[in-house]
Amino acid sequence: ISGEDRAIVSDIAGTTRDSTDTVIENEFGKYVFIDTAGIRRHNKVEEAIERYSVLRAYMAVDRSDVCVIMIDATQGFTEQDSKVAGYAHEQGKACIIAVNKWDAVEDKTDKTMNEHLEKLKIDFSFMPYAPFIFISAKTGQRVVKLYEMINRVASMNAMRISTGVLNDLLAYATSRVQPPSDKGKRLRIFYMTQASTKPPTFVCFCNKAELFHFSYQRYLENQIREQFGMEGTPIKMVVRERGDK
C-alpha cells in the first residue's frame, strides 16, 4: 500500500509476526499505517508468539482511527479475521474490508468478484455498514480508491449532527413508524442528541426505556444512515428515561 517494501514478509499466510508503523504522506493526506502481525487460522495458533500476535492486533485496533480488515483472497475468511473485525466493531472504529492479493486469484471475472462479495457479506453480517474493496497491495490495484475510502469512513466516524437536525429527523421517523407500545402505554421519545463521536453516539430521552425495543433503535439508526450516510462506521444508540443522569 505504501508503494514500497517496508517489512520482511513472505507469500505464506501468517508469517508477518509483529506490528510495524509506517508513515505515508501522499496527495490524499498523511497516514500512519500499523501493519499488524499476520494471524493464522485458529487450528494453527499453538505457539505463544501467535497468541502474542493476536494481542498485538487488538492493541493496533485500539490505536487506530480506521481499521482496514485485510482478507487474503487466496485463503478466504478465517475465524481470526472475524475476531479482529468484531473487536474493531465493538471499539467503535471506522472499518473497511479489503480483499487483498486479488491479483493472485486466477480466471477472475465480474461473477467471481460478486461471488466473493456475497459470501463475505454473510461472514461480516455483524458489521453491514463496512464497505468492501478488492485490491492488490503488490500491484497497486485499486489502492488509490482505498485511500479515498479511508478518508471517507474516517470523516463519517467523526461526524457530528446538530440537535435541531436530529430532532427534525426524529419527528419524521416517528411519523412514519409509530413508536411501540405495551399494555396501553406507548413509548414517547422527547428528543435525541449526539453525545460524542468515534463512533457517533446518539442519546434518546424517553418516557419508558423498557418500551424502547432494539428493533426501534435499529429503525432510528437506519434512518440516520439513510439521511447522513455514515458509511464505514458503527453507530451507538443510548436510551435514557427523562430524569436519568
Assess contact for 192 and 204: CB atoms under 8 A.
yes
Look at residue 26 and tell me if it is in a domain. yes
Q: Single out the residue in 157, 192, 221 at which a domain terminates.
A: 157
Range of the domain at 100: 20-157
pLDDT tens-digit series, residues 211-239: 999 999 999 999 999 999 999 999 999 99
Query: Which residue in this structure is represented by grid cell 505464506?
Result: 12
| Whole-prediction pTM | 0.84
Task: Give the CATH number for residue 76.
Answer: 3.40.50.300
Q: Around Cβ 47, how many Cβ atoms within 10 Å?
A: 10
Domain identity same for 30 and 74: yes
Q: Helical H runs in the chain?
A: 48-63, 79-90, 110-123, 143-157, 163-176, 214-228
**Mean pLDDT confidence for 185-202:** 97
Domain total in the chain: 2
Q: Where does the pLDDT of residue 17 fall: very low under 50, low under 70, confident under 90, or very high at 90 and above?
A: very low
Q: Single out the residue in 101, 126, 157 at which a domain terminates.
A: 157
Domain identity same for 40 and 90: yes
For residue 19, is pLDDT > 60? Answer: no
Domain identity same for 32 and 103: yes
Residue 49 CA to residue 18 CA, distance in Å, equals 9
Half-sphere exposure of 151 (CA within 13 A, CB side): 10
pLDDT of residue 7: 42
φ/ψ (deg, to 5) at 25: -125, 125
pLDDT of residue 111: 85
Look at residue 5 and tell me if it is in a domain. no
For residue 42, is pLDDT > 50? Answer: no
Please tell me which residue, 71 or 4, carries the higher pLDDT value. 71
